[in-house]
Amino acid sequence: MGSQGGWGQSKEFLDLVKSIGEARSKAEEDRIVLQEIETLKRRINEPDVPRRKMKEYIIRLVYVEMLGHDASFGYIHAVKMTHDDSLLLKRTGYLAVTLFLNEDHDLIILIVNTIQKDLRSDNYLVVCAALAAVCKLINEETIPAVLPQVVELLGHPKETVRKKAIMALHRFHQRAPTTMSHLISNFRKRLCDNDPGVMGATLCPLFDLITEDANSYKDLVMSFVSILKQVAERRLSKAYDYHQMPAPFIQIKLLKILGLLGSGDKQASGAMYNVLEDIFKKSEPSSNIGNAVLYECICCVSSICQNDKLLKTAAEVTSKFLKSESHNLKYMGIDALGRLLKRNPEIAEEHQLAVIDCLEDPDDTLKRKTFELLHKMTKSSNVEVIVDRMIDYMISISDNHYKTDIASRCVELAEQYAPSNHWFIQIMNKVFEHAGDLVDVRVAHNFMRLIANGEDDEGAGSQLRSSAVVSYLHILAEPKLPSVFLQVICWVLGEYGITDGKFSASYITGKLCDVAEARSNDDTVRAYAIAAIMKICAFEIAAGRKVELLPECQSLIDELSASHSTDLQQIAYELQALLGLDARAVETIMPYDASCEDIEVDRSLSFLNSFVNQSLQNGARPYIPESERPGTLNISNYGAHDQLEAPSHALRFEAYELPKPSPPPIPPALLAAAPVADLVAVPESAYFSTEPHQPSEPLGGAAMSPAEHGLRLRLEGVQKKWGRPSYSSSSSSSSSSAPSVSAPSAQKPANGVANANGAAAAAGAQARDSSYDSRRNPLVEVSAEKQRLAASLFGGSSARREPPPAAPPAAGRRAVKPVATVVAPAAPPAPPAGDLLDFGEPSPPPAAAAAVDPFQQLEGLLGPASAASSQNSTVGAVAADLLSLHADPPASLAEISLPGKNPLAEISLVGPAAPSSPVVKKGPNPQDSLEKDALQRQLGVVPSGQNPNLFRDLLG
């Protein structure tokens, strides 16, 4: 553990504390703490850590938390330490837990049982530690678990336990008052406890209860007075003295309680006078704690019923505070003087010079407190001086919060004690100019109403408005003005700018246009400006004078007509419409000086009754109230249904309906690529018929709803992405590594018509697939390397991989289980180009397949009639018949494939489509059964180039 340092801690811990104290920057301190966190994470989880060492780790975690870092990884270890039997470790655990956790933490539940056990302990130190944790950790939900035990501890023989039990009950009352309502009487009983510490602790919950309801505790006035008198007479032991003051904190709490109980109660106040006078005499003003007791005594005197002798004594003490050199005592004196002014305003006259000295003090806190005092001292005789000093101070400070407070006080005093309207306008102009954005908008509206109402004398009112216009035109020359002040200026200029005839309409409108152009980002100011221009134009038209707008004014109207703000657009269009009206209409619309007239609002819209009646007679539908409309709340049915129907616009929590099946959309590429002849009517049974003989594939087509009818496109060869396996493109099974072709599904007859050439059908389907894919991803270009990689991994879009039988599978590729597949003969195509998916694997030339065709040899065995029929029948029919006989071929059957490359794959990728053969309708043929039997016997046999006569050998 290293050498021991002070307090029994290791040298490592002391070095940590020292390094943190010597850190020169926050970054260096964080680096030290983060390093300590890593060390603690490693060591605290080691097995068999000694308890003494774990105690040190917990204390180091406390340091980590104190410095603002997360130590949650060690919370559980602190909780475990509270379970320890050692008192030192248990108290350390409780200390750490109270610092780490809050009342809603998840780990609180783990220590409730421990607290219950410790509250029943015989060691009072353990009980005290548990009670201290209870005050911090127990929340409203866990209070009932420990409340009975805490109440029992009120009768504990140790005074320290009783004191902490009172504190715990006080905390319970703060968090859950209803839980403690039946235990309030315990506080009254503990007030008479023999120990002064328990009595002093009881004063705190009683103070909260008296603050809530003082009348319920009037009977305790004499008890509080008796206790205060005993404390002031030094009847308590010297252990409760602080700087030679007897129990000063108990005195302060008692004075606060007496101030609450004596407020408005003359009888209760009379019982307090003598003890308050004794405290004034016996308190020592030489110490801070003595001055604190005197200050609280002054507050009590100012709260209870007035007593002249006590007020005089309190004023003398306040004068000593104001004359002190200490700023703290001056601050107390200013606050005490403000309280005494409520009882006797004449007291402030004796301390005018002291107040002025505090107003000029460089201490900003003291100056602000002095302005609060001046606000209380203001009356009609001194309002001008006080408001001027407050405005000067408001201009000098930069704190917006306090500037707002000073501005509101100036406005309040100016409205209440203004000697004249001219002075009021000047003060308001200063307030708006220096704190306009911080002033409430309602103040601006009240100010405009005052200017509109004017004075009782009409001549004086006109002079007031004229002086306001002159002053505002002068103020507009200032570079920066608040938005609220500009709104007031625009309103005044629009209402009274041309009233006295000193200024022309063009001059005022020009000024207003300048304001609107200067505040292009403030729509409110621009709205006030354009509204003021409209008023001036209306007054000119009503007076019979011709209105000639300035060019800049006309450009402003045009600009606002296309503004993004609908309010500005509306005002601009209204102004344009106003300019085209006659004088009588304008005078009716905008009467002169009618801004303060009351507007009667007809909420029932009775002026529309005749129009409504006429419309109803003409057959219009009557209006249905919103409550009676379908889908909304119907109050009339409330009693019948016992529940309310949710309105249509409310949130709905019902589950959504299942989606209805819908046909997949037909891409435009398929519509453009498919010929008109392919759009044929398909019977429902034929179009939606299933194919039980078709082998399953990983990807297939989606089945459409059988309820849909009508013309449908032929989708043979079109690959479908979801649902049941269906038609697959010929490219999906074509690859250079898989020369065999699975073509039956691409050649199935539809609507009774079969294709004559399977290769042509596959090539056309591949072309449509390529067109569809190109339209679906027009911006994605797939390189040849990616195509080869996709073919090697997935074997094409159908995900069917069939390795060639002649060549072994490539390295790294998994061999695919062979599946029986029959390849139908196709017409010899034109010489194809190179295979894009050719990986260079050895394969015979394509001519080998054309030279020796085992199917032709098979047809030769069946006779010339069979051969002719086979040439004229479709490949799709043969494949369909074959698969109908063998719907589920065994997986062990070998593959029937042609050697060499797949010509269909080459045609579908790069080669032209083979010409189609004439379509021949399939009919009854006596050779069909022979063909089926012959092909059936050959399943599972893989012909190769080495044995071209295999069929002849098998058939003898």
How far is 529 from 523, CA to CA, in rounded Å? 10
Q: Secondary structure of the chain: what % helix, strand, coil (to 5)?
A: 60, 0, 40
For residues 563 and 572, the answer to whether their CB atoms sit within 8 Å is: yes
- What is the pLDDT, as a whole number, of residue 438? 86
The most confident of 28-37, 399-408, 801-810, by mean pLDDT? 28-37
pLDDT band at 274 (very low <50, low <70, confident <90, very high): very high
* pLDDT reported for residue 853: 52
State the pLDDT confidence band at 4, using cuts at 50, 70 and 90: very low
Angle at 398 between CA 397 and CA 400, to 5 degrees: 110
Cβ distance 446 to 473 under 8 Å? no
Pair 344, 332: CB distance under 8 Å = no
- From CA 12, how far away is CA 1, in angstroms rounded? 8
Quote the Cα angle for 120-121-126, to 5°: 120
How confident is the model over 641-649, as a mean pLDDT? 45
pTM for this entry: 0.57
pLDDT at 732 over 90: no
Closest CA to 65 of 31, 28, 18, 99: 99
> Which positions ≥6 away from 821 have C-beta within 8 Å?
740, 741, 742, 802, 895, 896, 897
- Tell me what pLDDT residue 647 has: 45
What percent of the chain shows pLDDT beyond 70?
64
- Element holding 681 (H helix, E strand): strand 679-681
* pLDDT score for 571: 92
Contact call for residues 526 and 516 (beta carbons, < 8 A): yes
Torsion, CA 936, CA 938, CA 940, CA 944, rounded to 10: -150
Q: What is the mean pLDDT of the chain?
A: 75
Query: Which pLDDT score, from 0 to 100, does residue 654 have?
Result: 67
In three-state secondary structure terms, 576 is: helix
Residue 74 CA from chain centroid, whole number: 32
Q: Which of 224-238, 741-755, 867-881 is predicted with the least confidence, judged by mean pLDDT?
A: 741-755
Instruction: Please provide residue 382's backbone torsions phi and psi, each rounded to the nearest 5 degrees.
Output: -120, 10
For residue 746, pLDDT beyond 80: no
> What's the whole-number mean pLDDT along residues 607-628?
89
The confidence score (pLDDT) of residue 546 equals 85
pLDDT per position as a tens digit, 705-724: 444 444 455 555 555 544 44
Q: Return the pLDDT at 574.
A: 92
List phi, psi (to 5°) of 733: -115, 10
Q: Tell me the pLDDT band of 5, cut-offs 50, 70 and 90.
A: very low
User: What are the residue ranges of helices labelled H in 177-326?
Assistant: 185-190, 196-212, 221-232, 248-262, 266-270, 273-282, 288-303, 308-323
**Does the CA dihedral 305-265-203-238 come out positive or negative?**
positive
Q: What confidence score (pLDDT) does residue 301 get?
A: 94
Lowest mean pLDDT of 322-336, 359-373, 543-557, 792-806, name the range.
792-806
DSSP secondary structure letter of residue 942 = -
Residue 276's nearest CA partner among 239, 322, 257 is: 257
Query: What's the CA gap between 452 and 123, in Å, rounded?
Result: 80
- Which of 543-547, 691-695, 829-833: highest mean pLDDT? 543-547
> Do 276 and 310 touch, CB atoms closer than 8 A?
yes
CA angle, 565 then 571 then 576, to 5°: 125
Give the pLDDT confidence score for residue 653 in this predicted structure.
64
Residue 333: partners with Cβ closer than 8 Å, 6 or more residues away: 318, 319, 320, 321, 322, 324, 354
The pLDDT value given to residue 682:
43
Q: 415: exposed, middle or buried (C-beta count within 10 Å: 0-12, 13-18, 19+)?
A: middle
pLDDT of residue 435: 86
3-state secondary structure string across 127-162: HHHHHHHHHHHCCCCCHHHHHHHHHHHHHCCCHHHH
Task: Kindly state the average pLDDT of the residues 214-243.
Answer: 93
What are the beta bridge partners of residue 680? 712
Cβ-contact 938, 858 below 8 angstroms: yes
Q: So what's the pLDDT on residue 455?
A: 65
Q: What is d(CA 724, CA 879) in angstroms, rounded to the nearest whole number?
A: 20
d(CA 515, CA 533): 11
- Which of the residue ranges 12-21, 343-352, 461-470, 830-839 has the most confident prediction, judged by mean pLDDT? 12-21
- Are 542 and 582 a contacting pair, CB within 8 Å? no
pLDDT at residue number 931: 65
What's the pLDDT tens digit per position in 406-428?
999 999 998 888 888 888 888 98
Is the pLDDT score of 669 beyond 70? no
**What is the H or E stretch that residue 245 is in?**
strand 245-246
CB 163 within 8 A of CB 198: yes
Amino acid at 937: R
The pLDDT assigned to 596 comes to 65
Query: pLDDT value at position 95?
Result: 94
Give the domain ranges of the chain: 504-595, 606-626+642-700+897-955, 723-864+875-885
Is the pLDDT score of 745 beyond 90?
Answer: no
The arithmetic mean of pLDDT across residues 674-695, rounded, is: 43
97-116 residue pLDDT tens? 999 998 889 899 899 999 99
> Look-up: residue for tokens 């606002």?
560
Q: Mean pLDDT over residues 760-776, rounded?
A: 46
- In sequence order, the 6+-apart residues with CB closer than 8 A to the CB of 215 are none
Of 856 and 682, which is predicted with more confidence?
Answer: 856
H or E element, residue 490: helix 483-496
Amino acid at 860: G
Please tell me the predicted confidence (pLDDT) of residue 948: 47
Tell me what pLDDT residue 824 has. Answer: 43
User: Is the pLDDT score of 660 beyond 80?
Assistant: no
Percentage of the residues of the chain whose pLDDT score is greater than 90: 37
pLDDT at 685 over 70: no
